[in-house]
Structure 1
């Protein structure tokens, strides 16, 4: 740990720096710099003020409800009350522009991953850092004002600071403040170390960053600071706006305001009161918030004296009478409601490196302040002193005449409460964008929510109407799973995953007259074995094609099939020349197992062998369905990470569909139990409706309740709102056991959204967020937003913006799919090369 760092070390080479003014003389910064040293992670000013700095992790913007804002406001008020008189709370929020840089993990990245990195490379983003400085004013410290700054008063560190008790008392209060601020889980404070405050030779610390407005990735450097004729720091031209005059303040303030862009007739979308000058202001800026905590009894006594003075003068001026009444109301509220009187000051510093943008910058800042119903006032004469007083550790130099009297409740309404979207601290996830600037965000939809205890399982339900971007999102999700070493089984109706399967090299099962769908549930790989689960799956399949739904299945028939399978696999083990499939199983039943039944004197009523062979004859050689259970290709399904079953052409065929669904169930259960330590995912698209009709509802229920125990997750997608509302399978099996709910554009269902809201158990916060989807999208970008609800504990809205390569890989538009297939045909069916050629031709056409 670094202790006792002097100001010369902090500024590295500050001896050569000068402050320019109208006069030709200049003053060395190191002589005026108000910070004496940093010791024990605490800033010590030359006047003896102590300051502790925290970095705050705030809630993400657009993720809070009105109740959340009121709860957060209450937390701030309680935290301020714990601080003693003589404390200054300085909250400083940095918003700086940067560009997105793809991380190079030196790993092997796929074609689509590389295309995504290229697509987002150098995209402008707005970074946010929030700091809270708690400053304890030195005993006997004289207040600063605009007429004479403490910056010009050379002093020695007071003697009482040398004593340990002063620091210990201050540290105790700061610890209590930190604990109160952490309550509720909205804010996570982290105390900055001495190195983070001072910086190193390679990385600038907070002090140096503020002095020269350095970015997080900039190297330490010296810049000239000038206040006349133009406020500038190096190449950056600055403007400072203040909220310190009572006449400029809004008539009303509160913890939240309504954001009209995302509101509807049914819902009011909330943001914090200060969001317009915070995360919503799209330029480089620093928003400073000061709360000065004085002795409340002395403050009230001073105001009472002021009231009496105004009372005596009220006969001579109406303004005095109005001021008297206002002071009287302030005193009444303080006493009757137990309010804590404080003094507050707020200022906004914006900057740009292009002087031509100063006018636009002025318009942006003025508009942001006006959105708070405040009067924007640009500070010219007092800019220098306000700039220095906002230096971390120098909050005591905030001029008294730049502060206004208010209460802690009102002052905390002006705090910036939100931050930018954050990446999930997890290696597993999917690349999406935030809904404000389109900044790429890495989001873990599965593991991180479980770790945070937002959810108890990884199961998901995805609901989105036609054209809402559901297919694009699920394609991207499945691709992320496969590329991150998961095994994915997809049951689809509509050929939504054909391009993805081709690019990732998966198995694609579909049915056409020329290439009918084929399975082989009897095949077991060399390193696999016939376990009880596998045996039960085969028996269930045989029963499904032998018996009708209303036919009774006797216990003796169950025993006979079990014995037949056991003897058949014993024969396969002793004779490797026999290929396991339905044909050889049928031969074994007819030729050998019939003799076993005769030797055991099994009666026909216990097991009707002739009926069994007759009913299953269409699946045997040269039968109508002889292809169905005798596949000789794509047999290593256990080891194949991506398997897609396209059931569109057989969903209305009761025989083919029942066999297909039973085989898929067997496949996934086999993966689920055999692949230890590997993530298993089953995605059931609109096929769930047909599966439910085919008597597979119990499988879905079993799947959703069991898959969690095997590091797996089940995902069901639907685009029909009525299906979600009316299906008992969805309500009883899926929704109750899917902790993650993903909804896409629901605006056309706004008038009957209450039904789905009730079924999903969604609160009013979720409703307002869902109905805000895609209401104010950036027309320059092609993306669709989606809402994620993790167990009702955390909700957020993201956007999915595919790169051109991803777009053509995931598209479900018939015309575009045909075009991609035509290009792929030129390269032997290779979708990757086909998409490359298609995009290259489009770029050439656009260039000409």
Structure 2
């Protein structure tokens, strides 16, 4: 009977249980969310923890030397030591896959810039933001664990949060922490504002972004979060790799890691120790780094108790004996080296919306972690708790069982120390590319450095044949002219012919059929005859009249000066006469001789007949009657792009002398008269011929004076031996060029020590230069360029031209002929020609 009663009761209970609704498997995130509120920019959790959020600007990747990595590591350690015992440092680095979005449409005048916009549009790259959260746990707070987490329960706000002393303590520690890091000179820190943390309703804050794993700061969108069977945020599948056990760690670590791709047999190239899981892991991921500052006394007591326990058990198991020895080593190091004992945890959270990519991401993340010689471990069971602890302000929920004992010195080695390249905030600059992906950057190598590390804008450009030197210089000059600069180029080799046609500039070159022509006597409308102009013409006339070893008397100087004054006065009354050397020569014959006779000037004071005889070859019908009587391309002062191609005349004593004197006069005139306009003179390999022609003093004057007139002088060379041996280069150019631009010099690696000494380059600069083009991305047409500013800022950029830019700037004869062929085909329109070539090549 009793048995029947028991069976009936069981049956009834089963029926009641079956009638109950199923257990609820969903929870409202708002109810579970561990964040209580923001108070004066401080994140307060429901468990009683207080957190300050910081945004950190790290050094750009590939820009730190071995010693700088060590210095930055020391700065982090100093900052960590000022934080109170029990606080948690949570460094969170976001790396999100983005695509470059071209700037808004520009005017058709910027044809090549538009082609570059199209070329780079949608170029993938990895964006990076670094956040740091410093948390003080509530007094008496029970440590979190995988089984005891606020993810699994609700919390009540403790009374201690009403005590303002806790918040004051946190703010005081943060102030010291930020000051130490900022004073290191490597990082910039700012406190996150309430809007950056919580958003505004129309924009997402960092908490909303984390809960949706989104880098989009627009209006937040609610997403479901699934923990089973795998971690999933909205449509994003997540993978979590953790470092939660000391057994996973390498035998040794350091702030930096040798980067084999850029290392040579003569140099070593370094990146940050954790960079493989940072910038070098090209997937969407967050790298979380946690340091829990334990009570040193209590930690050592705990470890000592552990040692004794392991000692007693060591006879039963070899594993116990090994663990005992490791604990002894830890205690010895803590005492002997006065280390800061902490517990730490690292994890990498990767995600994708394409499940087919999971295997590839898993392999990439595991390989990246292995490069630090860390044993990768993919979290499955504990992934939800680790994701939960990653919510900004919720670091105290990091499970204690997911942490390992170590020291701050070692743990800080696992900090991500680098970020992606940043664009300049200056309105002026040129477009270059990030070294890793080539994504466009706006780089100012002229004005912005003048505020910090440079005293002049002058530049020295060095690159071997085929290094991309001409391509880069075309791009620089084109960018400058589009931004309002005037550019004068002295070239040998026709490197700027295509660009000059595109910009509608003046191109002076010599051939038998069309010899080079100038007119120093012509004064454009709106200009005037000033002392500088007269002095330049006098210098030209004297240079043509007198040999270098002939004396030049004061009376002759006065006579020539008076002749010019009278000539231009004569022209003002005879507008029908065209100013040129011919009319000046005729004025001397017909009028000035009479003035000299009237003033009874003797031949010994000024021999006018000798003067006319020596200058006769430059007058009508003479051997060089073309060179000073030009009637085209006369508006030199207002023309922003002027090229002098000197290759055919660089060895001709007369033509080259006249040309260099005219160029000097023209640029000095621009320099002094064009107020508020940037003036640039580019001296290609012509500097060798100029220095031979007695123009070394002009180069020295130019390099020392041009900065006062918002100008810059740029010298370009590929002859390394000349660079090392030339006193003109060393004294005038190198010493007065705060910007040095070097392209591929691998072929000179054996003599680079001499180059380094001549340029005053540091070992850091040498390592960067010799790393150029060593690991270029396959399938892309670009060259790397090293830029050094004031011996302080040193970076390597890509220069990757669009197809249109490439053909416009190319110096290859075959490609130049192709451009000319297409230009003729399209009726002389070089833009249509370049576009047609680009479409043909892209097809």
TM-score (norm 2): 0.96
Which whole-Å CA distance do the structure 1 matches of 2:672 and 2:566 have between them?
A: 24
Partner in structure 1 of residue 545 of structure 2: 546
Matched, 1:630 2:629: yes
Counterpart CA distance in 2 for 1:776 and 1:701 is 39
Counterpart of 2:828 in structure 1 is 829
Bigger-Rg structure (1/2): 2
**Which range is displaced more, 400-409 or 577-586?**
577-586
- CA distances 1:102-131 after superposition (whole Å, capped 9, x unpaired): 121766651111100000011111100110
2:145 aligns with 145
CA contact (8 A) 2:209 2:217 kept: no
Q: Which residue of 1 aligns with 2:12?
A: none
2:35/2:394 contact within 8 Å kept: yes
Question: CA separation in 2, counterparts of 1:611 and 1:399?
Answer: 100
Judge which range, 697-706 or 165-174, deviates more.
Answer: 165-174
Paired position in structure 2 for 1:567 = 566
Q: Which runs of 5+ in 2 are unaligned?
A: 1-21
> Which residue does the alignment assign to 1:8?
none
Query: SS of the residue aligned with 1:150?
Result: coil
Q: Secondary structure at the match of 1:823?
A: helix
Is 2:428 the partner of 1:420? no
Report the equivalent of 2:103. Answer: 103
Q: Which residue of 2 aligns with 1:16?
A: none
Q: Is the 8 A contact 2:230 2:380 kept in 1?
A: no
1:669-698 Cα shifts (integer Å, max 9, x gaps): 000000000000011111111111111111
Q: Could you say what secondary structure the match of 1:795 adopts? A: strand
**Distance in 1 of aligned mates of 2:802 and 2:26:** 54
1:595 positional shift: 2.4
Q: Does 1:801 align with 2:800?
A: yes
SS in 1 for 2:93: strand
Distance 1:783 1:65 in 2: 25
2:223 match:
223
Matches within 5 A, 1:240-389: 240-389=240-389
Q: Which deviates further from its counterpart, 578-587 or 354-363?
A: 578-587
Once the two structures are TM-superposed, the CA of residue 842 in structure 1 deviates from its matched residue by: 4.1
Contact 1:273 1:372 in 2 (8 A): yes
1:469-488 aligned within 5 A: 469-488=468-487
- In structure 2, how many angstroms separate the alpha carbons of the residues matched to 1:509 and 1:391? 66
State the distance in 2 between where 1:438 and 1:24 align.
50
- Larger displacement relative to structure 2 (339-348 or 212-221): 212-221
Aligned residue for 1:649, secondary structure, equals: coil
Distance in 2, matches of 1:23 and 1:375, equals 39
Distance in 1 of aligned mates of 2:837 and 2:406: 64
1:762 counterpart = 2:764: no
In the alignment, the residues of structure 2 paired with residue 324 and residue 808 of structure 1 have an alpha-carbon distance, to the nearest angstrom, of 69
Q: How far has the Cα of 1:158 moved from its partner? A: 2.7
Counterpart-to-counterpart distance in 2, 1:479 and 1:686: 19
SS in 2 for 1:264: coil
Q: Distance in 1 between matches of 2:740 and 2:681?
A: 16
- Structure 1 ranges of 4+ moved more than 6 A: none
Matched, 1:65 2:56: no
Residue matched to 2:743? 744
Q: How does 1:445-524 map to 2 (within 5 A)?
A: 445-451=445-451, 453-524=452-523
Residues 259-298 of structure 1 show CA distances to partners (whole Å, capped at 9, x for unaligned) of 0000000000000000000000010100000000122222
Aligned partners of 1:235 and 1:353 also within 8 Å: yes
Tell me the residue number matched to 1:610.
Answer: 609
For the residues of structure 1 that align with 2:637 and 2:705, how far apart are their CA atoms? Answer: 19
Are 2:34 and 1:34 aligned? yes
Check conservation: 1:502, 1:830, Cα contact below 8 A. no
Q: Is the 8 A contact 2:32 2:153 kept in 1?
A: no
Q: What residue is the counterpart of 1:5 in the other structure?
A: none
d(CA) in 2 for partners of 1:502 and 1:769? 36
Structure 1 stretch 65-74 or stretch 549-558: which is displaced more?
549-558
Separation in 2, partners of 1:631, 1:526: 16
| Cα distance between partner residues in 1 of 2:266 and 2:377 | 36
Kept in 1: contact 2:804–2:837 (CA 8 A): no
Output the CA distance in 2 between the equivalents of 1:831 and 1:744. 29
C-alpha contact (below 8 Å) 1:128/1:419 kept by paired residues: yes
Q: Is the 8 A contact 1:704 1:734 kept in 2?
A: yes
1:773 corresponds in structure 2 to 772
Decide whether the 8 Å contact of 2:523 with 2:529 is kept in 1: yes
1:238 aligns with 2:238: yes
**Distance in 2, Cα, partners of 1:366 & 1:42:** 36
> Matched residues in 2 for 1:832 and 1:820: separation?
10
The Cα of 1:308 is off from its aligned counterpart by 2.9
Give 1:777 shift.
0.4
Structure 1 range deviating more: 250-259 or 317-326: 317-326
Contact in 2 for aligned 1:432/1:442 (Cα 8 Å): yes
Is the contact between residue 87 and residue 136 of structure 2 (CA under 8 Å) also seen in structure 1? yes
* Local SS of the residue matching 2:410: helix
The alignment partner of 1:61 has SS state of coil
Partners of 1:39 and 1:838 in 2: CA distance? 61
1: CA distance, partners of 2:470 / 2:778: 21
Do the aligned partners of residues 108 and 164 (structure 1) sit closer, same or farther apart at CA in structure 2, a change above 3 Å counting?
farther
> What's the secondary structure of 1:423's corresponding residue?
coil
Distance 1:557 1:117 in 2: 59
Q: Which residue of 2 aligns with 1:6?
A: none
Equivalent pair of 1:199/1:205 in contact (CA under 8 Å): yes
Which stretch shows the higher mean deviation, 232-241 or 569-578?
Answer: 569-578
Contact 2:823–2:832 (CA under 8 A) maintained in structure 1: yes
2:127 counterpart SS class:
strand
- The Cα shift of 1:23 comes to 6.9
Preserved CA contact (<8 Å) 2:205 2:217: no
| Contact 2:32–2:150, Cα closer than 8 Å, also in 1 | no
The aligned counterpart of 2:162 is 162
Deviations 1:347-383 (Å, cap 9, x if unpaired)? 0011111111111111000000000001010000100
The 5 A counterparts of 1:654-693 are: 654-693=653-692
State the alpha-carbon separation in 2 of the partners of residues 35 and 170 from structure 1: 17
- Tell me, in whole angstroms, the C-alpha distance in 2 between the residues paired with 1:609 and 1:240: 92
Contact 2:86 2:294 in 1 (8 A): yes
Per the TM alignment, residue 99 of structure 1 is displaced from its structure 2 partner at its CA by: 0.7
- In 1, the alpha carbon distance for the partners of 2:830 and 2:811 equals 15
Deviations 1:233-260 (A, max 9, x none): 1111110000111111111100101100
* 2:728 maps to 1:729: yes
Return 256-265 or 45-54, whichever deviates more: 45-54
Does 832-841 or 667-676 show the bigger shift?
Answer: 832-841
What's the counterpart of residue 13 of structure 2?
none
C-alpha deviations, 1:121-150, integer Å up to 9, x for none? Answer: 111111001101111111111110122113
Gaps in structure 1 of 5+ consecutive residues: 1-21
Moved more, 720-729 or 388-397: 720-729
Which secondary structure does the structure 1 equivalent of 2:604 belong to? coil
Residue of structure 1 equivalent to 2:407: 407
Q: CA separation in 1, counterparts of 2:154 and 2:221?
A: 27
Q: Secondary structure at the match of 1:328?
A: helix
- TM-score computed with the length of structure 1 as normaliser: 0.95
> Helix, strand or coil: the match of 2:648?
helix
1:704 aligns with: 703
CA distance in 1, matches of 2:438, 2:836: 27
Indicate the residue corresponding to 1:14 in structure 2. Answer: none
